[in-house]
Structure 1
Amino acid sequence: MAHYKAPLRDLEFVRNELLSMNQFYADSAQWSEVSHDLASAILDECAKFSENVLAPLNPIGDKQGCTLTDGQVSTPEGFKEAYQQYVEGGWPTLEGPAAYGGQDLPSSLALAVTEMTGTANWAWSMYPGLSHGACHTIDHHGTDQQKETYLHHLMSGQWTGTMCLTESHCGSDLGLLRTKAEPNADGSYNISGTKIFISSGDHDLAENIVHIVLARLPDAPKGTKGISLFIVPKVNVNPDGTLGDNNALSCGSLEEKMGIHGNATCVMNFDGAKGYLLGPENRGLNCMFTFMNTARIGTSIQGLAHAELAYQNSLAYAKDRLQMRALSGPVEPDKAADPIIVHPDVRRMLLTQKAFAEGGRMMIYYVALFSDALKIAKTDEEKQQLENLLALLTPISKAFMTETGFEAANLGMQIFGGHGYIREWGMEQNVRDSRISMLYEGTTGIQALDLLGRKVIMSGGKLLQEAIGPMIEFCNNNADREELAEFITPLSALLKQWNSLTEQIGAAAMNNADEVNAACVDYLMFSGYVCYAFLFARAAKISQAKLAEGTNDKEFYEAKIYLAKFFYQRLLPRTSSLAQTMTSGVDNLLNKDINPF
């Protein structure tokens, strides 16, 4: 069974030493009362809930899975009680607007709660996690009446939410969807069609489930320009806010999945279910991006969660497992063999896991800080700049963090050796659970194409320059600091290379648009390594300063510097091969004169 301990010390470092979040809150009018003590108290309590309630349910959820009986989905043993405890603790309300029962706390603080609950039990955490996306979508695009009807209950956790996008023939091409929306005289619509891969589509945790559904109106244009968005509750809501009769929708079946067995992934049938238009007609996909971007950030956290869980358990195992002797001589001669943590190759794997966990933590809270800043931005120019940063960094976070999270999970199995392949240790579950993260909410390829094609090339490089700006400024401000040279020199070179690679691919794409698709995944991975390098360099600078001042936490800061050096020397060189492959051209993939298959 995998064990979990909330990394509160590292959260403190990232949130307040690296990113100065407490100071950011204090300087804002909206969050000035969110003190360090308040934030710490929230995170401490969430750590207890995650460690003591959710983590023990993780293997139970995997083993039992969800069941569908007489049209009703039941979650694994203990899930419902844990959810009620979560609701009673007020956790769903953290970042919601006060007008609808929320606490109006910063998203970056709520994100830490998501990280801890998700690492402890990803399958369980998806139930409340999707509700946040439903709340954001209704809050951004709903009418006042829709907000009043749904947000109070979604915010409290009394109801949960889902997003219903794709269909069996669609995949990521939502322009092909066929679900219909027929207008009724009372302003509602009858929604008919079948949606697949609906996470948390049905369950026994809450009294109602609010589905956010993509469908087509009669005579709507073909393709993505003819899609509208609808609110479709599982149980109809009366005008006075009470629950009425069951809506004409049902879970047709549960998907038999490789992992996250504790979360119900449903085929949902809408048989003339009553729904309500959310946002403008035929602009549903634009509105749904509010939900999808929330989900993409959530999936980024999943990458972090699996890396952290793999690292914690691998480290504990490597300290205890005795096998072979160190080549340089016995480390513990009084024992039959040395613990495997003394072997350099095992340490390579452990440090890789740690780098991806701690690097991912820095990355996701860096992005979250921009999200908070956007909420309180005062000028249109400031808002646009923050939106641009989020637009560029979101696909990098989602794809890079899930790819590296899966790598870390696989390394966990490798460190455990044969025991990693056995269920009782929890490492094979971590691998299975993590594999989906690179698929849903947009595959790595889809995220990469969005990054390179839409965000970088279609903006003429403007979004890239805005993201690179703070990194270049950091390098320039620290160029003369000899103690940082091992970080600043390679980072500066990579930032210049990032620009030159972008120009090279953009020029090639002018002659053949397929060049973008051929290069995009390598380009995204290159971008992710550079973003992490920037954050590790900042972490090293802070740690050097703390050590110079004198600190009681010497080991922590020394380990930070050591990990930054490991990242730069062992992982960052991967950018060299990525640069070579992304510029090798499309002909080795798509040659019209040769069929390699």
Structure 2
Amino acid sequence: MIDYRTPLPDLLFALRHGAGAARLPHWDDETAETVLTHAAAMVDEVIAPLDPVGDIEGTKLVDGRVVMPQPFVDAYRQFAGDGWQGLAVPEEDGGQGLPHILASALSEMLSGACITYQMVLSLAHGAMRTLAASGSEAQRAAWIPRLAAGEVLATMCLTEAQAGSDLGLVRTMASPQADGSWSISGGKIFISGGDQNLTGGQIMHLVLARTPDAPAGVKGLSLFLCPSHLEDGSRNAISVVRLEEKMGMHASPTCQVAFDGARAEIIGAPGEGLARMFTMMNAERLDVAVQGVGLAEVALQRSLAYANERKQGRAGKDGGPDFIAKHGDVRRMLLAQMALAMGCRAMVMRTLVDLELGDRPALMELMTPVAKAFATEAAMEAADHAIQVHGGYGFLREYRVEQILRDGRITRIYEGTNGIQAATVAGRVIRLDNGRALTEFKAEVEESMGLASPAFAGALGRALAAWDEASAAMLGRRDIGLTATSYLRLTGLLAFGAAWARLEAKAEHAANPARIRAVAEYVRDWMLPETRHLADLCRNSAELGSLPDGVFAS
């Protein structure tokens, strides 16, 4: 069925009127439109056709090396050769020096077109940010230009078999050497892009490891830069032990990687590893939110195409058969998909613009986990609707909507499960700095209310009141196990509603103003009322900790 097509008018509308990209001091609207127009043409012509190839062919481990489908290799050469990997990298580092939000818009396009291709490339951007923030001058000079040019890709090596979300259990060891370098030994699992042949296997691994005599827990972790190849061109002591077979994301190589005395250099000082790595982790969490937007968009596109060509039954009094896009229940699902795709786009892009401005760090502490969780849940809802709109055909691989569900399911898990994001918000973020994140978030919602129509402002005000009640209840709870996910969804739904308030207010600037207004009405009357129910759940006094352990015995 249809390949993804970049929704360029919707992207530009969201950037201008949802995200407020003009707030960036180096924003130029004409340049942005020109760049994204060229990016859209490249994505639609070169990247989108890769998606079914990657799902069918997948990746292979041949003689200890990962081999990706040849069309991926060819596409990457063109992509890197045209400078797309360095879009937002400073010019002095070999990039084009454009706003990071444009690179994120490109990331959304790539995610909708072929998320497995996007996934292999994405970690390089987080790695460049990590080096820019924490690397030495020599490390930045040696690696950022190569990453920007696409000569090298990157990985983030955190997880181990016994240390998933609990990084304090990491056992990989780094030992200092006489020449000032380090030697890393240990194993890492679930390493996206742990090996690939897009760059001839040239990879910069960022590795969390423990140094000798380091304290237990996360305070004993340090961050290391471990290249796949040494200066003389020989392979470092790094090997791929296993290539995982997965539910989806078949063309994104997920590897078990062994380090056997691999040469590395430290980033920062011993014991600073987790703090240094958080630059990359937070960047990747927002990139996963962008992935969610791209997946919701492609689910919508395939649903609309099918619903406007499939005839079945009668939608009214006239004789049928009618296009199923006229049927009430199908229209309900299409409206939900439209709401999720455009609303999450505006919400996530606004968060990314705020991150780039850097003037509201408390709000970013809240919105990073909220955007990651809400957008990825939205992607799965949109994919589920896509399967249902297609009926029995949605269950067939041929129509390529079940693939969206398979590929996207991991987004709710990696870069911190959505349950961890919920616990982070409810257990830590809302308590920081005397609730500053809550204050800044509330001000953001109230600003959106001031722009909205009276009807939408009223609905958003009721949702905000429900959120206020829930926030007070959460601050008083000891056991957040039952309520953290409800509170996260409530916060996300309120941010999503605020994003839609901004879009509704500028509907006349959209490519399809009638659609924006109709979807905004759906959000107002059929989605925002859920906030009342979620607030009631947050106020429920039940606690999981009071249940006997025997309830959960295997």
Could you tell me which residue of structure 2 aligns to residue 318 of structure 1?
307
Q: CA–CA distance in 2 between the matches of 1:372 and 1:442? A: 22
Distance apart, 1:2 and its partner CA: 4.1
The answer to whether the aligner puts 1:486 opposite 2:470 as a matched pair is: no
Distance apart, 1:595 and its partner CA: 4.1
Could you tell me which residue of structure 2 aligns to residue 342 of structure 1?
326
SS at match of 1:121: helix
The answer to whether the aligner puts 1:126 opposite 2:119 as a matched pair is: yes
1:114 is aligned, of 78, 103, 107, to: 107
Distance apart, 1:351 and its partner CA: 0.7
Q: CA–CA distance in 2 between the matches of 1:170 and 1:410? A: 32
Q: CA–CA distance in 2 between the matches of 1:12 and 1:301? A: 15
Which blocks of at least 5 consecutive residues in structure 1 are unaligned?
375-382
Give the 3 Å change call, closer, same or farther, for CA 517–592 of structure 1 in structure 2: closer
Q: CA–CA distance in 1 between the matches of 2:535 and 2:448? A: 23
Give the 3 Å change call, closer, same or farther, for CA 17–506 of structure 1 in structure 2: closer
Q: CA–CA distance in 2 between the matches of 1:7 and 1:73? A: 33
Could you tell me which residue of structure 2 aligns to residue 365 of structure 1?
349
Could you tell me which residue of structure 2 aligns to residue 69 of structure 1?
62
Could you tell me which residue of structure 2 aligns to residue 596 of structure 1?
551
SS at match of 2:385: helix
Could you tell me which residue of structure 2 aligns to residue 277 of structure 1?
266
2:433 is aligned, of 450, 453, 459, to: 459
Could you tell me which residue of structure 1 aligns to residue 513 of structure 2?
557
Could you tell me which residue of structure 1 aligns to residue 149 of structure 2?
156
Q: Deviations over 1:211-267 (max 9, x none)?
A: 00000000100011111100001101x3xxxx5211000111101110010110000
Give the 3 Å change call, closer, same or farther, for CA 474–316 of structure 1 in structure 2: closer
Measured on the aligned residues, the alpha-carbon RMSD in Å equals 1.6
Q: Deviations over 1:416-451 (max 9, x none)?
A: 111111111111111100100000000011011111
SS at match of 2:459: helix
Could you tell me which residue of structure 2 aligns to residue 537 of structure 1?
501
Q: CA–CA distance in 2 between the matches of 1:460 and 1:503? A: 13
Could you tell me which residue of structure 2 aligns to residue 377 of structure 1?
none
Q: Deviations over 1:494-542 (max 9, x none)?
A: 22322221111212x2xxx32x233111100001111111111121122
Matched residue count: 551
Could you tell me which residue of structure 2 aligns to residue 566 of structure 1?
522
Q: CA–CA distance in 2 between the matches of 1:474 and 1:305? A: 24
Distance apart, 1:592 and its partner CA: 4.0
CA contact (8 A) 1:100 1:152 kept: yes
The answer to whether the aligner puts 1:442 opposite 2:392 as a matched pair is: no
Q: Aligned letter for 1:470?
A: E
Give the 3 Å change call, closer, same or farther, for CA 318–178 of structure 1 in structure 2: same
Could you tell me which residue of structure 2 aligns to residue 57 of structure 1?
50
Could you tell me which residue of structure 1 aligns to residue 375 of structure 2?
401
SS at match of 2:546: coil
Q: Aligned letter for 2:497?
A: A
Q: CA–CA distance in 1 between the matches of 2:377 and 2:304? A: 21
Q: CA–CA distance in 2 between the matches of 1:581 and 1:500? A: 11
Could you tell me which residue of structure 2 aligns to residue 498 of structure 1?
467
Could you tell me which residue of structure 2 aligns to residue 14 of structure 1?
14
TM-score (norm: length of structure 1): 0.90
2:277 is aligned, of 288, 302, 326, to: 288
Could you tell me which residue of structure 2 aligns to residue 424 of structure 1?
398
Q: CA–CA distance in 1 between the matches of 2:533 and 2:162? A: 36
Distance apart, 1:143 and its partner CA: 0.6
Could you tell me which residue of structure 1 aligns to residue 77 of structure 2?
84
Note the 1:74-223 alignment, pairs <5 A. 74-207=67-200, 208-223=202-217
Could you tell me which residue of structure 2 aligns to residue 379 of structure 1?
none
Higher relative CO (CA 8 A, sep ≥ 6), structure 1 or 2? 2
SS at match of 2:377: helix
Which blocks of at least 5 consecutive residues in structure 2 are unaligned?
none
Give the 3 Å change call, closer, same or farther, for CA 431–91 of structure 1 in structure 2: same
Q: CA–CA distance in 1 between the matches of 2:485 and 2:268? A: 33
Q: CA–CA distance in 2 between the matches of 1:288 and 1:370? A: 21
Q: Deviations over 1:162-209 (max 9, x none)?
A: 100010111100100100001101111110111000001100001410
Q: CA–CA distance in 2 between the matches of 1:439 and 1:387? A: 25
Q: Deviations over 1:128-187 (max 9, x none)?
A: 211101111111111111111111111111000010001011110010010000110111
Q: CA–CA distance in 1 between the matches of 2:20 and 2:523? A: 23
CA contact (8 A) 2:219 2:272 kept: yes
CA contact (8 A) 1:518 1:585 kept: no
SS at match of 1:252: strand
CA contact (8 A) 1:212 1:231 kept: yes
Give the 3 Å change call, closer, same or farther, for CA 68–593 of structure 1 in structure 2: closer
Could you tell me which residue of structure 1 aligns to residue 239 of structure 2?
250
Distance apart, 1:69 and its partner CA: 0.7
Q: Aligned letter for 2:266?
A: L
Distance apart, 1:24 and its partner CA: 3.2
Q: CA–CA distance in 1 between the matches of 2:473 and 2:290? A: 32
Q: CA–CA distance in 2 between the matches of 1:402 and 1:146? A: 34
Could you tell me which residue of structure 2 aligns to residue 380 of structure 1?
none
CA contact (8 A) 1:61 1:77 kept: no
Distance apart, 1:325 and its partner CA: 1.1
CA contact (8 A) 2:292 2:376 kept: yes
Note the 1:364-383 alignment, pairs <5 A. 364-374=348-358, 383=359
Q: CA–CA distance in 2 between the matches of 1:297 and 1:305? A: 13
SS at match of 2:313: coil
Q: Deviations over 1:64-95 (max 9, x none)?
A: 00000111100123000100100111101111
CA contact (8 A) 1:66 1:75 kept: yes
Moved over 6 A (4+): none
Could you tell me which residue of structure 2 aligns to residue 352 of structure 1?
336
Q: CA–CA distance in 1 between the matches of 2:192 and 2:350? A: 27
SS at match of 1:486: helix
Q: Which moved more, 1:447-456 or 1:257-266?
A: 447-456
Q: Aligned letter for 1:12?
A: L
Q: CA–CA distance in 2 between the matches of 1:248 and 1:358? A: 46
Could you tell me which residue of structure 2 aligns to residue 24 of structure 1?
23
Q: CA–CA distance in 2 between the matches of 1:362 and 1:354? A: 12
CA contact (8 A) 1:72 1:251 kept: yes
CA contact (8 A) 2:463 2:529 kept: no
SS at match of 1:590: helix
The answer to whether the aligner puts 1:309 opposite 2:298 as a matched pair is: yes
CA contact (8 A) 2:469 2:535 kept: no
TM-score (norm: length of structure 2): 0.96
Percent identical among aligned pairs is 39
Q: CA–CA distance in 2 between the matches of 1:566 and 1:494? A: 15
Q: Aligned letter for 1:565?
A: E
Distance apart, 1:372 and its partner CA: 2.2
Q: CA–CA distance in 1 between the matches of 2:114 and 2:548? A: 50
CA contact (8 A) 1:98 1:104 kept: yes
Q: Aligned letter for 1:48?
A: A
1:579 is aligned, of 514, 535, 552, to: 535
Q: Aligned letter for 1:493?
A: R
CA contact (8 A) 2:325 2:331 kept: yes
